[in-house]
Each structure stands twice: as structure tokens, then as C-alpha cells.
A and B are shown apart, each in its own frame.
Chain A
């Protein structure tokens, strides 16, 4: 009852604030429209045929996953978009990138196949080359391949010893990418356009800014002694926080619906065919943003301070996740793995690419776990002194 009362009155306050209208509704709409108009002619699939991206590969691994990669790149679904070039040496790969011929470089370490089979961490190194759109497409397709071999390993669920090694693996790991129970099945391959790419990141950034608005609201109410006043009422502190969070969740939901609806209806952005999972992903991202906002207000005591810190978090994680420009790789890419933008966008891209349910649910699970962790930290740090202006 108290939560609903606080929620309803918070919604009244929000609906009467021009700042809310500006930041929560108008700004994302303007951003989507501007990006849509700017990118529609240049990048939209269907408007212009995409040319092949040259992907130069240097592999020290001759195991089964290198074979699988070759098959994947030669498959009818991928070939129109990627022209594979197999480099003889690392310097050959670097030269192709340097002279601007290659759009993406991949270096596969010698123990990659074996490491994957043993369930150990295995990594490729990607080198982005010239051509923003081709680079993104090539990275997206390679990502699809990597996700699917991860999925195949996950489904077999067996971890052979090193001695069993390659022989056992060759018997059970897919040679073909399109058949068999427990094997990787490559559905009809799709890729995403620039407007899709940026729509996802505008959506995530908007959701995070809703979190900032919640943080500012909490601090405003604390600075104006409104939270302290609520504390002398027969209401539990968590009811106050949850009532407010609920209002900003609704606002953020409305904002997301506008971004998704506008981008889909005006710029034909395809958000996939699983609206429930998309809605759930948005909801989890919102919960993370709200929890993060709450956590920041527990640490920072002024509206200016919270805005500065939240902006920094949003900008750094947005940049690291490649929202402004595809990630150049290296440590930044590793760092991006720890950002919520990366995980939220991964789910959305997977939905757009119509990846398998297992991949989507795995990514959603990570998002859920991250959200739960932040919420747990926020509430564990919660003290009743939060309500008082110091």
C-alpha cells in the first residue's frame, strides 16, 4: 500500500517535470531520429547492398575449430559478407591491415581447439581494420561463430582429459555446422545494420540515464528534507526506495517502448522476433541502472557529485562497449566484458540476429546475475542515515 502510494505520487511529480520530458522522452527520440536520418541512406540493409569484408586469418592452430571456422566462412550464408584470406604469417596479416586491404584480422593461437575442448579459457585476437560498417559486420559474424562453438561445448558437457585430446574430440565435435543433435546448428544467418547497432546503444544509454534521474531525485528529496520527513511516517525505509524505483522503472519502460517503437516503425529496425525476451532484457537493464543509481546515492552526497559520477560510469561503459565506435580490441575489449552495456547489448544483438535460445538465455542470465549482485550490494550498504541530509 505504502509502496503504491509513493509510486503514484512519484509518477505525478514526474509527469509534471519538464526535465523528465526533456531527458527521458525528447532526448532519446531526437537521438534516434537524427541517427536514423543520418544512417538510413548510408547503411540500412536493403537500401544498399553490402559489399564483402575481407577478413585476414592467421592461425597457429590446425585443430577442429580451425576446420570448423573454414567451413563456416565458406558456407553460403556467410560467404556473401566475408571474404576470408589466410595469412602465412603474423606479419602478412599485419601488412594486409596496414595497407587497408583487410577489414578485420583474426589471430588464432596454437592451442585454441584443444583449450576449448578441455573447457579452458581460449581466446582469439581480433584486429579491426578499415571500414566501419564492414568491420562491424565481420565482427558480428565472427561473434556468432564463437558463440556457437561455446554453445556446442556447453551442450556436450564433457571435458576430456588432455590425453584423450584431439582424437576423442574429432569423433564428437561437429564437423558439419548444420546437422545433428547436440551439435552446432547454424540457422539462417542474419546480420544487423548500423541503425540497429546504434538503436540498441541509444536504448541502453537512455535506460542508464533513467537511473541517473532516479539518483538525482533521491538526492533532491534528501537535500530538501523530504526523505527525512518520510522517515517519521509509519513507512519502512525500503518501501520508500522501492516506491520511487518503481516509478522510474515505469518511466524507463515508457522510454524504451518509444525508442523501440519509433526505431521499428520509422526506420524499420528489426528487434528480433522475441518481444518478451526483449522486454525482459530491458527490464533487467533498468533494474541494474536503478540499483546502480541507488548505490551511487549511498556513496555520493550531492546532486552535482552523483551526476558527475553517473555520467562518467555511463560514458565509459558506453564507450568501452563500442557504442560510439566499434571497440578497437585489446584491454578495452577485455574491460568491456565487465560493463553492463556489453551484456545488455549482447542479448539485444543476439535477438536481432535470431541466435538460439540457449545463447540468449545465457546472456540474459549474466545480466540477471549482475543486476542481482548490484541490488544486493546497494541494499546491504543501505543505512537509515541515507534519509538524512548531513
Chain B
């Protein structure tokens, strides 16, 4: 059942289309990863879902509520972790989280309990009376998250929450996302790190030029990696006849040779390695090593957008 729905959403800035008739649904309980190169339109999409900016056309619904008609209702259902660390440096960690909690309408003992829970979740309970200026970058990022989950939202939107932090804090955040999801929270996660998205997301959407160019589970996306499986063989002797026979195989798209290596680009995942071994054996080639490069999302991204994710 969809908790977030975008139908034919259009957004333009100064006449330039930034989000181009985007249609997308995110199911309740999912961790949905949204990736794309800079300028792909993912931040604009996130901002429109968060009610920060209005769409020019189309419909966005969060938990059945239209973001244009009932923005306050939508705001109560969502928690947004901004890309930037947006916390008050002169307030303590506790005061920061409590401030946001109060603005969500929490008070009294419930507020105190929720603040402690949020800080514990972020691993900052023992530093609750310290001010963020004494925190490391990773701790500030965690406090940034704690401020967004105080009201236990149905949907958490995380816009690159691990930018510029140490691996330990990154792991903590990724584990936190999984934990939140296990508690029933739907998560939308954007990142420049495909390994992060691969590690935590159930489904992934790839955006480019304001459009969703691919969406699906990791397995579904890998299925789309046509012509991207690579086999690298170190063998000798490498004869013209051997190369010819390899080229004749219907599943081999491309053959590249070096002094001692042959690189094969395979056009199907339904490929049997025995065929290659048989051809090599027929030509009495001695195999020193053989490597099969499995398709990954980074390569899929590159093949779909023509750019690396971190470009």
C-alpha cells in the first residue's frame, strides 16, 4: 500500500524543467533510495514531498493527504533530515530536540520521554547536556536526525545524511535507518554513495534530467544490466583463431585482447561459463586466471546516466 504517491509531477525554475512529469509511489514500510547525479531533480522532489516548495503541476500525496491542500497535516506525518546540519549551536542537545518536539505539539512527561528516546537512538543520551559546538561532525549529524524523529513520524525523509562524516558515524546512521524501518517507519533516503543505498534500501529509483529513468529492487535493476557482465581471462597462447571463435559465440558482444589477457563483454546474464572454457580448451590455451565482474548498481547508474554518481 502506497504511503507516498507522485503523479505527473512537474516543477520548473525560470522556465527550465527540473522535475519532468514524475510518477512514483513508495510503499508503507519501505526504505526507498533515490539516487541521481547533481541536478537530476532529486532534491527538488524531496522538497516538494516535504512541502517546502510547491509543484507546478501534478499531485503529491503523503498518507492520502494532498501536500498542496493539507500541508500542515503532511508536516505532522513526516520528519525531514536535511542535508545540512541545521541545529542550534547555543542550545544543548536536549534543548535542541525538545525545541522541535514542542513545535510538534509534545509537552510534559511525554516530551521528556521522547527526547530521551531520540537522543538514545542517536547515541547521544550521555551528552544530552552538552552543546553541539563540542560535538564532532558525526555527532552533529546524529543530533540532526534526533531532531527529526522526536515526533515518531510515519515517513522519514533523509537527504544525504552521511555527507562528510567518519565511517563509524556513517555505520551508526545506516544502522539507525534500518532500526527506524524495523519500527515501521517508511524511509526515503538520498545519497551519493551507491554502496549505502545498496546496503539499506529495498527499492531504488534513479533520476536524471528530472525523470525517473529506472526504479525497482536491486535484483530487478541488476537484471537491466544488459551487456555489462565482463569476463577477464589471462591465458596463453592467444591466437587469432581463438579470438575468432570467441567472437562467433552468440552471447559475446565484444572481445578485447591484450598481450596475455582477453576481455569479454557478455550480453546476457543467462550465460554459461562452460562455453568459454570449452573454446579455450579446443584451442589448447593454458588458463592462468579468470575473473567474472558481476554487474553492480554503480555500473548500472553509469550506463543509464552516462555519469558517475559522484560527478
A235 in contact with B103 given A9-B95, A12-B91, A12-B95 (CB within 8 Å): yes
A234 in contact with B72 given A9-B99, A16-B90 (CB within 8 Å): yes
Contact at B91–A228, with CB atoms within 8 Å? Answer: no
B185 at interface by CB-CB < 8 Å: no
Annotate B81-106 by CB proximity to A: 1 below 8 A, 0 otherwise.
01010111011000100011011110
List residues of chain A with CB within 8 A of the CB of B12: none
Which of B51, B80, B91, B99 is close to A5, meaning CB atoms less than 8 Å apart? B99
Query: What's the nearest-Cβ distance from chain A to residue B53, in Å?
Result: 8
Q: When chains A and B are docked, how far (Å) is the Cα of A232 from the Cα of B99?
A: 14
List residues of chain A with CB within 8 A of the CB of B76: 234
Q: When chains A and B are docked, how far (Å) is the Cα of A388 from the Cα of B105?
A: 24
Of A1, A13, A17, A232, the most chain B CB neighbours within 10 A belong to A232
Q: When chains A and B are docked, how far (Å) is the Cα of A235 from the Cα of B101?
A: 12
Contact at A232–B86, with CB atoms within 8 Å? Answer: no
Which chain A residues numbered 168 to 226 have a C-beta less than 8 Å away from chain B? 224-226
- Nearest CB in chain A to that of B72: its residue: A234
A228 in contact with B90 given A234-B72, A234-B76, A235-B103 (CB within 8 Å): no
Q: When chains A and B are docked, how far (Å) is the Cα of A213 from the Cα of B141?
A: 28
Q: When chains A and B are docked, how far (Å) is the Cα of A235 from the Cα of B86?
A: 17
Query: What's the nearest-Cβ distance from chain B to residue A380, in Å?
Result: 20
A163 at interface by CB-CB < 8 Å: no
B78 at interface by CB-CB < 8 Å: yes
List residues of chain B with CB within 8 A of the CB of A226: 86-88
Which chain A residues numbered 220 to 274 have a C-beta less than 8 Å away from chain B? 224-226, 228-235
Q: When chains A and B are docked, how far (Å) is the Cα of A344 from the Cα of B95?
A: 39
Contact at A13–B52, with CB atoms within 8 Å? Answer: no
Q: When chains A and B are docked, how far (Å) is the Cα of A120 from the Cα of B99?
A: 57
Interface size on A, residues (CB 8 A): 21
B50 at interface by CB-CB < 8 Å: yes
Q: When chains A and B are docked, how far (Å) is the Cα of A388 from the Cα of B50?
A: 14
Which chain B residues numbered 223 to 277 have a C-beta less than 8 Å away from chain A? none
List residues of chain A with CB within 8 A of the CB of B86: 224-226, 228-229
A2 at interface by CB-CB < 8 Å: yes
Contact at B100–A233, with CB atoms within 8 Å? Answer: yes
List residues of chain B with CB within 8 A of the CB of A5: 99, 102-103
A2 in contact with B103 given A231-B52, A232-B78 (CB within 8 Å): yes
Q: When chains A and B are docked, how far (Å) is the Cα of A9 from the Cα of B50?
A: 24
Contact at A228–B52, with CB atoms within 8 Å? Answer: yes
- Nearest CB in chain A to that of B101: its residue: A5
Query: What's the nearest-Cβ distance from chain A to residue B4, in Å?
Result: 15
Query: What's the nearest-Cβ distance from chain B to residue A1, in Å?
Result: 8
Which chain A residues numbered 1 to 38 have a C-beta less than 8 Å away from chain B? 1-2, 5-6, 9, 12-13, 16-17
List residues of chain B with CB within 8 A of the CB of A230: 103
- Nearest CB in chain A to that of B84: its residue: A225
Which chain A residues numbered 291 to 341 have a C-beta less than 8 Å away from chain B? none
Query: What's the nearest-Cβ distance from chain A to residue B70, in Å?
Result: 11
List residues of chain A with CB within 8 A of the CB of B68: none
B172 at interface by CB-CB < 8 Å: no
Contact at A388–B103, with CB atoms within 8 Å? Answer: no
A13 in contact with B91 given A232-B78, A233-B75 (CB within 8 Å): yes
A234 in contact with B75 given A12-B95, A225-B84, A229-B82 (CB within 8 Å): yes
Which of B78, B87, B88, B104 is close to A9, meaning CB atoms less than 8 Å apart? B88
- Nearest CB in chain A to that of B76: its residue: A234
Annotate B62-83 by CB proximity to A: 1 below 8 A, 0 otherwise.
0000000000100110101010
Q: When chains A and B are docked, how far (Å) is the Cα of A231 from the Cα of B72?
A: 10
Of B72, B78, B84, B87, the most chain A CB neighbours within 10 A belong to B84
List residues of chain A with CB within 8 A of the CB of B90: 12-13, 16-17
- Nearest CB in chain B to that of A233: its residue: B103
List residues of chain A with CB within 8 A of the CB of B103: 2, 5-6, 230, 233-235
Q: When chains A and B are docked, how far (Å) is the Cα of A2 from the Cα of B106?
A: 11
Query: What's the nearest-Cβ distance from chain B to residue A329, in Å?
Result: 48
List residues of chain A with CB within 8 A of the CB of B104: 233-234
List residues of chain A with CB within 8 A of the CB of B84: 224-225
- Nearest CB in chain B to that of A224: its residue: B86
Contact at A232–B91, with CB atoms within 8 Å? Answer: no
Query: What's the nearest-Cβ distance from chain A to residue B72, in Å?
Result: 5
- Nearest CB in chain A to that of B73: its residue: A234
Which chain B residues numbered 117 to 134 have a C-beta less than 8 Å away from chain A? none
Which of B51, B87, B95, B102 is close to A232, meaning CB atoms less than 8 Å apart? B51
Q: When chains A and B are docked, how far (Å) is the Cα of A230 from the Cα of B147?
A: 11
Contact at A13–B75, with CB atoms within 8 Å? Answer: no
- Nearest CB in chain A to that of B51: its residue: A232
List residues of chain B with CB within 8 A of the CB of A225: 82, 84, 86
List residues of chain A with CB within 8 A of the CB of B72: 234
- A residues engaging B (CB < 8 A)? 1-2, 5-6, 9, 12-13, 16-17, 224-226, 228-235, 388
- B residues engaging A (CB < 8 A)? 50-52, 72, 75-76, 78, 80, 82, 84, 86-88, 90-91, 95, 99-100, 102-105, 147
Listed by A's residue number, 9 A-B pairs whose Cβ atoms lie within 8 Å are: A2-B103, A9-B99, A13-B91, A228-B86, A229-B86, A229-B147, A233-B103, A234-B75, A234-B76
**Further pairs besides A6-B103, A13-B91, A229-B147: 14, Cβ < 8 Å:** A1-B105, A16-B90, A17-B90, A224-B84, A224-B86, A225-B84, A225-B86, A226-B87, A230-B103, A232-B50, A232-B51, A233-B103, A234-B76, A235-B103
